[in-house]
Amino acid sequence: MNKRFYITTAIDYVNGQPHLGHAYEKVIADVIARARRSLGQEVFFLTGLDEHGQKVQQAAQAEGKDPQAYCDKLAEDWKAFAAKLALTNDDFVRTTDARHKQVVQASLTKVNAEGHVYKKTYEGFYSTKEETFLTEKDRLPDGTFDPSYGEVVVLKEENYFFKLSDQQQWLIQYIESNPGFIQPDHRRNEILGFLKNNTLEDLCISRPVARLNWGIPIPFDTNYVTYVWFDALVNYISIPAAHGDTVVRSALDPRPSTLDPLPLWPADIHVIGKDIVKFHAVYWPIMLKALGLPLPKQLLVHGWWQKDGAKISKSTGNIIDPVAVINEWGLDAFRFYVLRELDIGPDGNWTDAGFKSRYSAELANGLGNLVNRSLSMLKRYRNGVVPARSNELSADADKVIAETKSLLEQNELQKALQSIWSLVTRANQYVDRTAPFKLAKDPAQAQRLDEVLYNLAETCRILAVLLWPFLPGTATKIYAQLGLSGEPDKLSAAAWGGLSAGHSIGEPAALFPRKDV
Ligand code: MSP
């Protein structure tokens, strides 16, 4: 079997309901997964939940629930959310899955056996809110700590540490010689700057059970559980192991697998937010090297959304509920806005006015209007029967097809949408310029009208294929309205001339109902 194109998202903390930021990241990964399938690659798309740690334990306690029961309930909501976003994930990992815990324990056993782990007493500052140790470097000039750390206490505790300090040099060299490893470039430069200007402190990978018991037991000392990152990051290899991936299995469990192996590792892309780059670009490669595993090919780092120029925050009520937006405007309008508004990299700002303006200009009046008037005229003037092939828009379409293909191969989603919309605009201008409604009044123009109607219907078909990774529901509707069976899910179908003369289309209907906004 061929190696799959393996794409993952960050796994979300389960101590609340999904918000815009979670949705954005999952939609990016879904579009890339669909695009790769459309390009003919075999894909494995993984997303899921990060369920251990103090916050979850406390949240469960606050509701009087056992943490597992608390996670089980929330996991249902998050899985329903993935379905609401029409994610095409091939698996859904929960860090409380037995298949995941086994691999975390096997990983700990191996790094410990090979001398990468030691125990020491730590005495110093600790943020209970962020579950993290702080050092002098974290102090503000006035000696206090950033309020985001909450209460900072002095703690003396024995814990296990994973050695990072002697690993800096090879990692710098690796990142320098593999420019594609961290994208976009400015995130790569930030990490290189961090690695060159700081000495890495070893990573604390345990918490005493006496203080935190909601975690995976450390196999060589059950008085401790694994602390979050050594648990969470391992999901990217635990699921390949569960699917029989031989690269991971041979590093962690040399016993032969009875499974038909699905070749997944190394991952092709980890899609993550800017706040967790250090964990993925520093700790994760060092962990993988210690495990004897190859590194993922790329970390694709997206920015953060704000709303109306301020941080999204439950406590101030400055939130976007993606489910409410989807219920009101449709899933594809949501997917379109987040991907068209914000390139992968910089931070973005959600405004309701901006959302409505893109909905009405680009979706309703742009794409929706083009498809609706093209198919309605074909229905009205030719009884829905496709006329003979004509190639007037084929050069424009070919250019956009080639451009979109190359942009999708580079994960340039925003630019791909811009390119696709250049064809929407071109075709709408073509309607205005050729004025088929006037041609229809003059029997001497029948052939010209045939040409125009063919060009429009065929452009709509090609748009459906190009749009499928982004707006799957809309693309499917365009295909159905064209009377075509199957899904527009293969980019190879985008070549000009797919509609044949004599084919009867289906019923035109508005794709994006106009709203009074
Ligand atoms: N559980 C860890 C990740 C472990 S990955 C091995 C975590 N979870 S999280 O729920 O806090 O965040 C999940 C993802 O959502 C992260 O990639 C994060 O950057 C992203 N976002 C959270 N808020 C966001 C915005 N406001 N905007 C965009 N993405 C944001 O971190």
Residue 514 binned pLDDT confidence (cut-offs 50, 70, 90): confident
Q: How far is CA 276 from the centre of its chain?
A: 14
Return the number of other C-beta atoms located less than 10 Å from residue 442's C-beta: 10
499's tokens: 């509609």
378's tokens: 């074909």
Q: Give Cα separations from 93 to 12, 188, 496, 499 (angstroms).
A: 10, 28, 41, 42
Nearest ligand 1 atom to the CA of 312 is 26
State the chain's mean pLDDT as an integer.
95
Alpha carbon distance 121, 189 (integer Å): 34
Helices (H) and strands (E) in the chain, counts: 20, 17
Alpha carbon distance 311, 305 (integer Å): 8
Return the number of other C-beta atoms located less than 10 Å from residue 192's C-beta: 16
Phi, psi of 62 (to 5 degrees): -60, -30
Range of weakest confidence among 144-148, 177-181, 416-420: 144-148
Phi, psi of 407 (to 5 degrees): -65, -40
Alpha carbon distance 283, 76 (integer Å): 30
290 CA distance to ligand 1 centroid (A)? 26
Atom 25 of ligand 1, nearest CA residue: 21
Return the number of other C-beta atoms located less than 10 Å from residue 77's C-beta: 13
DSSP state of 274: G
Residue with tokens 């960050």: 10
Ligand 1 contacts CB of residue 273 (under 6 A): yes
pLDDT on residue 29: 99
Handedness of CA 453, 458, 461, 463 (dihedral sign): negative
- pLDDT mean over 52-78: 93
Atom 6 of ligand 1, nearest CA residue: 233
Nearest ligand 1 atom to the CA of 272 is 17
Atom 16 of ligand 1, nearest CA residue: 273
Alpha carbon distance 321, 250 (integer Å): 43
**For 139-175, what is each residue's pLDDT tens digit?**
999 989 999 899 999 989 999 999 998 899 999 999 9
405 close to 39: Cβ distance less than 8 angstroms:
yes
By percentage, how much of the chain surpasses pLDDT 70? 100
Indicate the length of the chain as a whole number.
517
* Closest among 403, 407, 416 to 467, alpha carbons compared: 416
Per-residue exposure over 247-273, b if at least 16 CB sit within 10 Å of its own CB, e if not? bbbebbeeeeeeeeebbbbbbbbbbbb
Instruction: Read off the pTM.
Output: 0.96
361 close to 391: Cβ distance less than 8 angstroms:
no
- pLDDT mean over 62-81: 96
Alpha carbon distance 12, 124 (integer Å): 29
**β-sheet with 310-311: strand ranges across:** 310-311, 305-307, 348-350
**For 82-108, what is each residue's pLDDT tens digit?**
999 999 999 999 999 999 999 999 999
Does the pLDDT value for residue 438 go beyond 80?
Answer: yes
- pLDDT mean over 308-317: 87
Does the pLDDT value for residue 52 go beyond 60?
Answer: yes
Does the pLDDT value for residue 516 go beyond 70?
Answer: no
261 close to 243: Cβ distance less than 8 angstroms:
yes
407 close to 39: Cβ distance less than 8 angstroms:
no
* Closest among 113, 115, 112, 138 to 125, alpha carbons compared: 138
Residue 517 binned pLDDT confidence (cut-offs 50, 70, 90): low
**For 364-383, what is each residue's pLDDT tens digit?**
999 999 999 999 999 999 99
Ligand 1 contacts CB of residue 52 (under 6 A): no
DSSP state of 98: H
Atom 8 of ligand 1, nearest CA residue: 12
For residue 259, give the 3-state DSSP assignment. coil
pLDDT on residue 495: 97
339 CA distance to ligand 1 centroid (A)? 17
Does the pLDDT value for residue 339 go beyond 70?
Answer: yes
Range of weakest confidence among 51-60, 392-401, 501-510: 51-60
Helices 67-84 and 322-329 cross at an angle (nearest 10°) of 30
Ligand 1 contacts CB of residue 319 (under 6 A): no
Burial class (CB in 10 A: 0-12, 13-18, 19+), 312: middle
Q: Are strands 5-9 and 269-273 parallel, antiparallel or unpaired?
A: parallel
Helices 413-434 and 369-382 cross at an angle (nearest 10°) of 40
By percentage, how much of the chain surpasses pLDDT 90? 87
Residues 6 or more apart in contact with residue 431 via CB below 8 angstroms? 370, 373, 374, 452, 456
Alpha carbon distance 208, 218 (integer Å): 10
- pLDDT mean over 245-256: 88
Alpha carbon distance 397, 402 (integer Å): 9
DSSP state of 2: P
Does the pLDDT value for residue 254 go beyond 90?
Answer: no
**For 3-14, what is each residue's pLDDT tens digit?**
999 999 999 998
Nearest ligand 1 atom to the CA of 10 is 5
Does the pLDDT value for residue 129 go beyond 90?
Answer: no
pLDDT on residue 507: 97
